[in-house]
């Protein structure tokens, strides 16, 4: 951890109270985002990465659905203990979030200019004219051509890539310290993906804004992030620098993931190794290590005791595995 942390999530648990009982899609997550860093959160669908992101901004319905345990430290405060009004002051202002599908994430009956102005006027005491000028600036900043014209248009009139840029513009409006990007490129074409990722990196460099990037695409992580957190079934199983993760993955799950990515220089006739088995449903989490049923190295201790997320001596990474060091050694020899 080189940079000073701007967000610290400590043992976060998010509970959903459903008809079938209580489930915890986020079950003991701890991670940090440093100042100016781009941290990636990866994992399969259903591992809780989106839920974690939404928990930071407390977007779930706390009256009827969700409750939280743990701590989320930001700016010297615990976000989970803030009042609703204080939380509203944080959202869109100090911490912003962008979502996966920009078409359905933008209000269809307001112009995009209005939607940016709304954010500005929510958090800053500025007049309509000033807000309008700032809006054009923001649109230009996020690379939208002819911003004066675009500001008067409606979301359905823009292409997917531009809509995502608009979402980013909305998120940037109040110069947040942290941007949470929940699968921002999943719904976009590959070429547009690259543009959006470049934009995010560019903004990170120029504005010093930290980014928490959630994705299931390892390629995206490799391109943009400096550190990575790997999640499985509601928990963090490994976290470390991108370099370390790709060159020397430590947790068997991460190892499996890395191996399943097809390589350009690989042998075409070899079968693509996949992680065997499938993710069990949330209310049927196995006792002990959650990955044990699918892990080739699992032994009885793994099946009965849940390992803690701990730093592995000799590395900058943290792993949740009883046998991490040994496994790394074994895997090092191809």
Q: Of 73 and 121, which CB lies nearer to other proteins in the complex structure?
A: 121
Q: Do 115 and 107 contact (CB within 8 A), yes or no?
A: yes
Q: Which residues bind other proteins (CB under 8 A)?
A: 57, 59, 64, 88-93, 96-97, 99, 101, 104-110, 118-119, 122-123, 154, 156-157, 167, 170
Q: Of 114 and 331, which CB lies nearer to other proteins in the complex structure?
A: 114
Q: What are the beta bridge partners of residue 227?
A: 39, 241
Q: Minimum CB separation from other proteins for residue 103, in Å?
A: 9
Q: Of 141 and 242, which CB lies nearer to other proteins in the complex structure?
A: 141
Ramachandran class of 91: left when φ > 0, alpha when ψ lies in -120 to 50, beta otherwise: beta
Q: Minimum CB separation from other proteins for residue 62, in Å?
A: 12
Give the contacts of 87 (CB within 8 A, at least 6 positions apart): 57, 58, 79
Q: Of 57 and 312, which CB lies nearer to other proteins in the complex structure?
A: 57
Q: What share of the chain is helix, strand, coil (3-state, %, to 5)?
A: 35, 25, 40
Q: Of 48 and 155, which CB lies nearer to other proteins in the complex structure?
A: 155
Q: How far is CA 34 from CA 2, 3, 39, 211, 293, in A?
A: 8, 5, 8, 9, 34
Task: Record the tokens describing residue 36, joined without a space.
Answer: 């100016």
Q: Minimum CB separation from other proteins for residue 304, in Å?
A: 37
Q: Of 49 and 91, which CB lies nearer to other proteins in the complex structure?
A: 91
Q: Minimum CB separation from other proteins for residue 213, in Å?
A: 16
Q: How many CB atoms lie within 10 A of CB 67?
A: 14
Q: Minimum CB separation from other proteins for residue 113, in Å?
A: 13
Q: Minimum CB separation from other proteins for residue 147, in Å?
A: 18
In 3D space, the residue among 59, 56, 61, 95 whose CA is nearest the CA of residue 79 turns out to be 56
């Amino acid at each position: 951890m080189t940079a000073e942390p701007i967000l610290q999530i400590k043992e976060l648990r998010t509970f959903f109270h459903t008809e079938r009982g209580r489930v915890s899609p986020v079950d003991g997550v701890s991670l940090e985002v440093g100042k100016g860093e781009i941290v990636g959160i990866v994992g399969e669908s259903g591992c809780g990465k989106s839920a974690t992101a939404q928990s930071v901004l407390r977007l779930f319905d706390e009256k009827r659905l969700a409750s939280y345990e743990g701590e989320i430290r930001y700016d010297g405060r615990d976000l989970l203990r803030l009042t609703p009004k204080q939380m509203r002051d944080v959202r869109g202002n100090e911490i912003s979030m962008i979502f996966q599908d920009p078409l359905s994430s933008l209000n269809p009956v307001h112009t995009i200019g209005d939607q940016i102005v709304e954010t500005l006027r929510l958090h800053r005491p500025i007049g309509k004219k000033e807000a309008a000028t700032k809006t054009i600036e923001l649109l230009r900043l996020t690379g939208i051509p002819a911003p004066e014209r675009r500001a008067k248009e409606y979301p359905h009139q823009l292409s997917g890539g531009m809509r995502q840029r608009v979402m980013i513009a909305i998120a940037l409006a109040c110069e947040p310290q942290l941007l949470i990007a929940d699968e921002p490129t999943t719904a976009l074409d590959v070429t547009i993906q690259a543009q959006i990722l470049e934009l995010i990196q560019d903004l990170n460099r120029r504005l010093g804004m930290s980014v928490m990037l959630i994705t299931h695409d390892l390629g995206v992580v490799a391109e943009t992030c400096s550190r990575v957190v790997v999640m499985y079934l509601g928990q963090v199983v490994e976290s470390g620098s991108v370099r370390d993760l790709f060159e020397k993955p430590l947790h068997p799950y991460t190892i499996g993931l890395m191996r399943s990515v097809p390589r350009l220089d690989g042998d075409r006739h070899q079968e693509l190794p996949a992680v065997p088995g499938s993710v069990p449903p949330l209310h049927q989490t196995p006792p002990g290590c959650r990955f044990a049923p699918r892990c080739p190295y699992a032994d009885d201790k793994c099946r009965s005791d849940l390992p803690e997320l701990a730093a592995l001596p000799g590395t900058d990474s943290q792993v949740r595995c009883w046998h991490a060091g040994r496994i790394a050694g074994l895997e090092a020899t191809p």
